[in-house]
Chain A
Amino acid sequence: MIKSLMKGFSALVLLLSMASIVNATPVDTYEFKSVDNQKRALSLAHSLRCPQCQNQNLIDSNSPVAQDLRLEVYQMVDEGKGDDEIVEFMTSRYGEFVLYKPRMEAKTYVLWLGPIALLLFGGVIGFFFIRKQRIADANNQELSSEEQQELDRLLKRDAK
């Protein structure tokens, strides 16, 4: 099993076109000590990336290293270790790469704060756009004849 996959891996990456290595779906029959443990372990393993594969998490990947790591996560959860501890275990061996949810730190500020900045930026643009309209509106209730013509031209070109 491990053999064929390891052998397959490099060859497949080179040769296959789409959807390279996903083939058989992994199913483990690990018995958790409790349902809560299972829930926590699965969600944790879902958020960790298999270091060898093409963008798959530990649950979805059938590669041997993913199997090992998955089992490691399950066992550590059953031993009562905390999420932070398990994440630390993984990153100290495989690096930040395995975290699908990057930590908040200097190099990820842009990533985490970017959406908020974008939202603010969009809000500012929208605000000014609307305000400009309203000021123009307040100053000048009616369109000037020139503007009315322009609007008509814009709206009516193909209506002839």
Chain B
Amino acid sequence: MIPELGHFSLIIGLAFAMLLAIVPLVGVARKDQYLVRYAWPLSYGMFFFILFSVVALGYSFAVDDFSVAYVAHHSNSELPIFFKIAAVWGGHEGSLLFWVFSLAAWAAAVALFSKGLEEVFTARVLSILAMILIGFTLFMLLTSSPFARLFPIPMEGRDLNPMLQDVGLIFHPPMLYLGYVGFAVSFAFAIAALMSGRLDSAWARWSRPWTLAAWVFLTGGISLGSWWAYYELGWGGWWFWDPVENASFMPWLIGTALLHSVIVTEKRGAFRNWTVLLSIFAFSLSLLGTFIVRSGVLTSVHSFAADPSRGMFILLLLGLAVGGSLTLFAFRASEMRSPARFELKSKETMMLICNLLLTVACGTVLLGTLYPLLIDALGMGKISVGPPYFNAVFVPIVLVLFGFMGVGPVIRWKKSKAGEMKRQLIVPAVIAAVAGLAAPFLADGQFNIWVVFGIGMAVWVALMTFRAAYNIVKTKDGSIDLTRLGRSQLGMIIAHLGIAVSVVGATMVSNYSLEKSVRMGPGISHELAGYTFNYVETKNVVGPNYTAQQGQIEVYEGDDYVTLLRPDRRQYNVRTMDMTEAGIDWGLFRDLYVTMGDPISRTEYAVRINYKPYVRWIWFGSIFMMVGGFFAASDKRYRVKAKSAEKTAAKEADKLATA
């Protein structure tokens, strides 16, 4: 009964979305404010019914209703309850429902927090979000319903893939989806602006906090995924340039460009067409990601079970959304010459260069990701494009990007004062160069060009960010006034420092990781990077739905006891799958990472020991970025003044008459 209610509720949600996609737009066309205002209750209704649908699916998981095919395939009565709930988004159908739910949640949020915006504009945004939602809800109802029943009803569920039974599953997909789908809001704002023909600073200002929010979630989703892969897959890698990872990274790159372009549009009225294009592409790349993950056109470790009919449907949606919006763009893009002028040496130029470099970096990832498909489609055989390619082309581009990124926050809008720049740049540049050159010699005494540039650029970005912060807080008479620092500036500073921190982590772990594969058993010890690993014994451990052999490895640094590492080899009962669970001792400057391989003799195992310097910095940096993004999104300027909202309400009627 409950699953049927969930299914039914989803259909009602779809009906609400259909009304939302039509009624307010009719209202705009007919200049009927009454119809326009339907957008709000319809958005809330849509959100409510889809929320109910998600709750119904969660309930079916919680009570082990194996008559629901999706539950039977992704759960088991022995599964811990939080994994049962998280399994709602653990497979194709459920994650699609969650995708749609995220979209409805964003739409409801836009409806709730947009009181100060023009009513007509917000109504259009909500209608556009509803159109996207219709597409995906139809996709779900027609090809992959999570509520489909199974007959005969199995006694037990087939269990969640042991790979997914981890806290990573609880947080990573929701964050990622909220990020992916969040760009739908920027997209809808851009389309609404195109429709109304008003690509102006107000639109940019309205769009900016939403873009930031989506970006924060996407940043969180990607780094959680990277962290999860790091500790769960047992290889100690943190980024694999897998098609599915790239699928989330491309919207992030374009989203980052968009964040900055939208600032220029807001503050200077420039780059308007460019901001619209980036809004369209950020969302299009999110859709492309959905296509790649669910259609099976590319082979990936992470993809869902492949099905061409699903791929066809998503491709159709992708074509409608992207084709439609780009056609609209081609006809409605602003042809007005940008009235805002700027000099070569100006913040605008830096923003432009960084935007172009981010876009080129994204284009490169796109090229590498789709190239095997391209070659195959042309009948020229099968090739692979992997990490060596991406590292070779992507890293140089971003290193150049960091160079300009350092200058951006310091330089003035419009025109920098002669000599001022040089004075501010020279000291950080020298320090960065010295730090970069010193880094490889301090690390292992051997020159390494990648370390020089990686560390050098990280130091450069960090120093320049501090300089920018100083410029902001210093008053004319030379004293320091922290109140001059607005939230969005504070956000920028934190996020840029985050980039520097992540770059240090990535550089160090990529160049100075050590590993050793050895045979280990009771009494055997090995040494790596100054640590002694002493295998004490193997314990048998029983988990809720698995049994495991657990190595007990004591680690000493010299004579000092450091920690006890406990890597597992788990056998999951239902899917009879073997899993390795790494034993990790994390630290600010290094991780010690141990995995158990196959048994070699009765008491001995093949054991891999890894030393990963600075690996945590990669994710610390992302936390910085998220916090920064959060600060920027919560800037006072975007919050609505309640008073003015009332005042504008009266004006809306007139405005509608002239719209």
Contact = CB atoms under 8 A, between A and B. Distances in A.
B519 interface: yes
Contact of A55 (B233, B301, B580): B301
Contact of B164 (A19, A96, A153): A19
A93 interface: no
B224 to A, nearest CB: 14
A89 interface: no
A57 interface: yes
B646 interface: no
A160 to B, nearest CB: 8
Interface in A82-115: 95-102, 107-108, 110-111, 114-115
Contact of B367 (A23, A111, A130, A155): A111
Nearest to B600: A29
B486 interface: no
A157 interface: yes
A55 B92 contact: no
A143 interface: yes
B301 A20 contact: yes
Given A30-B517, A119-B397, A25 B389 contact: no
B488 to A, nearest CB: 16
Nearest to B396: A115
B304 interface: yes
Contacts of A3: none
Interface in B371-418: 371, 375, 380-389, 392-393, 397
Question: By CB atoms of chain B within 10 A, which of A8, A46, A54 has the most?
Answer: A54
B363 interface: yes
B201 interface: yes
B537 interface: no
Given A27-B607, A111-B368, A122 B359 contact: yes
B269 A155 contact: yes
A150 B334 CA distance: 13
B200 interface: yes
Nearest to A129: B352
A29 B237 CA distance: 20
A54 B384 contact: no
A60 B269 CA distance: 50
A110 B368 CA distance: 10
B579 A122 contact: no
B305 A16 contact: yes
A21 B161 CA distance: 10
Contact of B356 (A60, A102, A125): A125
A28 B606 contact: yes
B392 to A, nearest CB: 7
A60 B235 contact: yes
Contact of A101 (B91, B158, B164, B388): B388
Say whether chain B's binding surface is mostly helix, strand, loop, or mixed: mixed
B205 interface: yes
Interface string A1-37: 1000000100000111111111111111110000000
A103 B464 CA distance: 40
Contact of B577 (A23, A110, A134, A154): A23
B311 interface: no
A137 B269 CA distance: 16
Contact of A130 (B237, B352, B519, B606): B352
A147 interface: yes
Interface string B285-312: 0000000000000011111110000000
Contacts of B397: 115, 119
Interface string B615-627: 0000000000000
Given A25-B234, A27-B607, A56-B301, A99 B598 contact: no
Contacts of B569: 24
Given A16-B305, A55-B243, A108 B383 contact: yes
Contact of A29 (B299, B343, B518): B518
Given A30-B517, A97-B382, A54 B300 contact: yes
A23 to B, nearest CB: 5
Contacts of A153: 200
B651 to A, nearest CB: 9
Contacts of B161: 16-19
Nearest to B296: A13
Contact of A1 (B202, B235, B598): B598
Given A101-B388, A137-B343, A155-B201, A119 B360 contact: yes
A97 B600 CA distance: 32
A27 B517 contact: yes
A55 B580 CA distance: 19
A100 B368 CA distance: 11
A136 B270 CA distance: 14
B447 to A, nearest CB: 17
Nearest to A24: B578
A122 B357 contact: yes
Contacts of A130: 344, 349, 352
B163 A25 contact: no
B204 to A, nearest CB: 9
A155 B339 CA distance: 11
B234 A136 contact: no
A60 B595 CA distance: 12
Contacts of B300: 54-55
A154 B198 CA distance: 9
Given A55-B243, A125-B356, 17 more contacts: A22-B163, A22-B233, A23-B580, A24-B234, A25-B608, A26-B597, A27-B597, A28-B597, A95-B381, A96-B381, A97-B384, A133-B342, A143-B341, A148-B339, A155-B200, A155-B201, A157-B200
22 contacts: A14-B305, A18-B161, A23-B579, A24-B597, A27-B607, A30-B517, A59-B235, A96-B382, A97-B381, A99-B384, A101-B389, A111-B367, A118-B360, A122-B360, A126-B356, A133-B341, A136-B341, A137-B343, A157-B198, A158-B117, A158-B202, A158-B205
Interface of A: 1, 8, 14-30, 42, 46-47, 49, 54-57, 59-60, 95-102, 107-108, 110-111, 114-115, 118-119, 122-123, 125-126, 129-130, 133-134, 136-137, 143, 147-148, 150-151, 153-158
